[in-house]
């Protein structure tokens, strides 16, 4: 089963918790056990699984990525968003989470985040449920 939803990212750099929306797709599929894949079909936004209990950590990660790939670097990309592309290379476009009895097996402190690096934008999230 494939399902997609859209999300409006609020700022240039944003962490958007999409865990509940992914869990809703798992529930809707009616399958007890399997794997859910979350895919972001964009090159300047990615997806990750990270801690959901300490919001400052998201800022810490964002600042570390900014140190690695400053927005105004010596880039040759024809647009002004090369740093966003590079951050997504590290973040990645997809994650997978197993589920049992219709419940994703995320750890107590884990959540699924769409990570925006070139916003604000309207982003598409593709969710694929496999047995």
Q: Where are the domains of the chain?
A: 2-130
Assess if CATH 2.60.120.460 describes domain 2-130: yes
| pLDDT tens for the 131 residues of the chain, in order | 899 999 999 999 999 999 999 999 999 999 999 999 999 999 999 999 999 999 899 999 999 999 999 988 888 887 889 999 999 999 999 999 999 999 999 999 999 999 999 999 999 999 999 99
Beta strands in 9-121 (DSSP E): 14-17, 34-39, 45-51, 94-100, 103-104, 110-116
Rounded-to-integer distance, Cα 99 and Cα 101, Å: 7
């Amino acid at each position: 089963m494939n399902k997609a939803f859209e999300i409006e990212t609020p700022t240039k750099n944003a962490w958007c918790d999409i865990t509940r929306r992914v869990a809703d797709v798992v529930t809707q599929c009616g399958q007890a056990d399997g794997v859910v894949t979350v895919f972001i079909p964009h090159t300047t936004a990615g997806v990750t699984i990270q801690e959901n209990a300490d919001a400052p950590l998201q800022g810490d990660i964002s600042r570390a990525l900014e140190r690695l790939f400053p927005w105004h670097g010596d880039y040759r990309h024809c647009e002004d968003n090369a740093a966003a592309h590079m951050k997504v290379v590290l973040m990645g476009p997809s994650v997978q989470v197993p589920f049992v009895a219709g419940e994703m097996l995320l750890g107590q402190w884990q959540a699924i985040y769409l990570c925006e690096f070139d916003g604000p934008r309207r982003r598409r999230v593709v969710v694929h449920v496999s047995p």
